[in-house]
Chains A and B, each alone.
Chain A
Amino acid sequence: MFGLQRKGRVALAAAALTVGVALVATGCAGGGSGGEATDGGDGGDASLSITMLPKNLGNPYFDTSTGGAELATEEFGGTFEEVGPTEATPTSQVQYIQTAAQQGAGGLIVSANDPEAICDALDEARSAGVKVVTFDSDTNPDCRDLFINQATAEGIAKVQVDLITEQIGDEGQIAILSASANATNQNAWIEMMEEELAANHPNVELVEVVYGDDDDQTSFDKTAALLQTYPELKGIVSPTTVGIAAAARYLSTSEYKGQVALTGLGTPNQMREYVEDGTVTAFALWNPADLGYLAAYAAQALITGEITGEEGDTFEAGELGTFEVGPDAGVLLGDPYEFNADNIGDFDF
């Protein structure tokens, strides 16, 4: 216990100073604080305060969707805040959901790290009057008011078939570079692409589906093997962001550059250089900014009571137009978004 009294005193003073400074610098500067404490909630009137909770902060994809949601919130005159964990772990979002409930947020827009782990917290938030909209990654349908779905499997399959057939002149051999042989969503898309090809593109032949396991090097090697096996090959479709980037990297330095078309699902930042150097003309995904924008308008429609989330409800989403609530309280953003040399410069994710 030697000298603890002095130690304690200085430790107390120093730590108190730290906490004091921290609280004054942040707590009091933080929006919505500094006033008299209220009894939670905002009385009767619905508050258009929107809290955005992505899977994690510092992710360019979510930064883009947050930008969209913020723009929408400005348009309808609400207040906007983005919160979130630095790590995308299953339970890391719970405390942010609790905080939003305590702050009496009007609407909470979430991309769930786990469909189940945040359910109870969301239920508690909803019973405190918060409207919950999921986007990008859904929770169980019981735990939220609406889910903003970026694209349907049919839409994703169709856009890729349209792109590749257009790029090869609607005839010749194509191949698919998928993720892994047991990836549920990939297999569903491929099946639909095969049906679409058989139905509307009789002169296009799908010669093989190869799997790059969503591994960059494996996908790169599989692309090389495809081109050696099928000298007549005219196009490759890769419905995975890892695969399309690896295939583009192979093509861009090979003799096939510009000869063999490549399309699929990719992100602008990965694909930018390959679009600029002519390896790829167009590819698809969805626009995260539009996704966030729509989610914010959906939250607003719920808060104002314009919709309740019943199937068949319709609401306006600013520049994007009118949307209808589908089955399972889902709202579909629409067709996938095409990225090409003209618009790729507008995106950063």
Chain B
Amino acid sequence: MTALTDAAPARTYKAHAKPAWRRVLLTRESAIIAILILVIVVALATVRNFDSPLTVTYLLRDIAPILLIALPMTLIIITEEIDLSVASIVGLSSVMTGILTQAGVPFPLAALVAVLVGTIAGAFNGFLITVVGLPSLAVTIGTLALFRGIAVGLLGTTAITEFPEEWTDLAKANLPGTPIPMIMIPFVVLAIIFAVVLHFTPFGRSLYAIGLSKEAAAFSGIDVGRTKFLLFVVSGAVSGFAGVYFTLLYSNARGDNAMGMELQVIAAVLLGGVSIFGGRGALHGVIAGVLLIGTLGSALRLASVSSDIINVITGLLLIVSVVSSSLLAWLQVRRASAIGKRKGRADASSDPS
């Protein structure tokens, strides 16, 4: 899968001077995938018990909610918006699942309503951002508190822990004969849908266009408002689904479930090569980013490294990867302008993405 970012303005002739394989292999996404492979290889060689199938099961099971939510989050950040309310929607959906199940509603229906509640919450975000025209950062900071408040308010400090066993077993089950959890099936299906939409459709290309320049996108006929509204609705729906899964995984519906997960998702998305300024990023990089943070944490925990040091390492990894690419961009601007001056062409307009 190649990273088909939108055709940048006519300043990419230098990139095209390289053969195609180099363009594919030396992207940020490829760098993250390479580091992921490196971490796995090093961990297999040095960390005891890392090679057990349990590692795969636990890792994928625990990061599944982050993997799921990272998909719509990628699209949102590419359009230069952000959704900080996702973890609160997970909590709200978890509480809804619990309350309805406790009230005797059949589980599939309860789960459906919980996903619907997530979708409505996402639509509420989308309405405030696109119709009222407020910045998504401000709106979703507000709804982060609002949805969390409703979730905790509905259940108080109690937890609902009784769920039909066939469903909790399903949430924890593996694909027969493999260490891979069942939850990977809906994830892979969603990931393929999101990847196709983002990288192989006009709609996907319009997201990059919006991220690069909202005005230009609007002039070229893209309905910016409708596009963003749709993204926030999808983000709410996926978060709602993640909430149902989270509830089943821990047999626990609580208002404070998944507290702080929004930052884990955003960190992984940025690590995966998506620019916080919009207009750049690819899904395979994001998936590798989530897996990298998860695998690194899992390997370090198995090597008995304390949790605060794991946090420090993850933070450094994110900073180093973001800083190194920004630094390079800056160097390239300098070099380009120096070349421009030498050639007597002061109009070397290269603004790197």
Contacts and interface: CB of A to CB of B under 8 A. Distances in A.
Interface in B131-162: 159, 161
B12 A1 contact: yes
B31 A15 contact: yes
Contact of A57 (B30, B300, B307, B317): B307
Given A4-B27, A11-B328, A27-B300, A89 B256 contact: yes
Q: Considering residues A1, A98, A128, which has the most beta carbons from chain B within 10 angstroms of its beta carbon?
A: A1
B304 A20 contact: no
A231 interface: no
B194 interface: no
20 contacts: A2-B352, A5-B22, A10-B328, A11-B328, A14-B320, A19-B35, A19-B38, A20-B38, A22-B313, A30-B303, A32-B303, A37-B51, A83-B301, A84-B307, A90-B256, A90-B257, A91-B252, A95-B301, A98-B54, A102-B58
Given A15-B317, A120-B250, A27 B48 contact: no
B14 A99 contact: no
Interface residues on A, range: 35 or more
A2 to B, nearest CB: 5
B332 A3 contact: yes
A209 interface: no
Interface in A15-29: 15-16, 18-20, 22-23, 26-28
Contacts of A99: 298, 301-302
B35 A12 contact: yes
Nearest to B292: A19
Interface stretch (A111-119, A160-168, A308-316, A338-346): A111-119
A3 B49 contact: no
B172 A32 contact: no
Given A2-B11, A33-B304, A15 B324 contact: yes
A86 to B, nearest CB: 6
Contacts of A129: none
Interface string A73-116: 00000000101111101110011101101111000000000101
A131 B24 CA distance: 50
A11 B18 CA distance: 18
B39 interface: yes
B308 A57 contact: yes
A40 B302 contact: no
Given A3-B332, A27-B43, A83-B304, A103 B48 contact: yes
B252 A4 contact: no
B155 to A, nearest CB: 12
A86 B324 CA distance: 29
B31 A90 contact: no
Interface of B: 3, 5, 8, 11-12, 14-15, 18, 22-23, 25-28, 30-32, 34-35, 38-39, 42-44, 46-52, 54-55, 58, 62, 159, 161, 168, 172, 249-252, 254, 256-260, 296-309, 311, 313, 316-317, 320-321, 323-325, 327-329, 332, 350, 352-353
Contacts of A128: 54
Q: Which 9 A-B pairs have the closest CB atoms?
A: A30-B303, A12-B31, A5-B26, A8-B26, A116-B161, A14-B324, A27-B303, A117-B252, A7-B328
Nearest to A39: B52
A287 B113 CA distance: 48
Nearest to B39: A19
B1 to A, nearest CB: 15
A40 B52 contact: yes
B304 A30 contact: yes
Nearest to A26: B305
A308 to B, nearest CB: 25
Contact of B15 (A2, A13, A16, A26): A2
B35 A16 contact: yes
Contact of A116 (B25, B159, B258): B159
A126 to B, nearest CB: 14
A1 B260 contact: no
B15 A37 contact: no
A11 B27 CA distance: 9
Contacts of A98: 54, 58, 62
A321 interface: no
Contacts of B350: 2
Contacts of A94: 62, 250
Contacts of B323: 14
B254 to A, nearest CB: 6
A3 B352 contact: yes
Contacts of B321: 11, 14-15
A85 B307 contact: yes
B13 to A, nearest CB: 10
Contacts of A15: 31-32, 35, 317, 320-321, 324
A243 B350 CA distance: 66
Given A30-B304, A83-B301, A102-B58, 17 more contacts: A5-B27, A10-B328, A19-B35, A19-B38, A23-B43, A23-B300, A28-B303, A30-B300, A32-B48, A38-B49, A57-B306, A91-B252, A95-B298, A103-B302, A103-B304, A117-B254, A120-B249
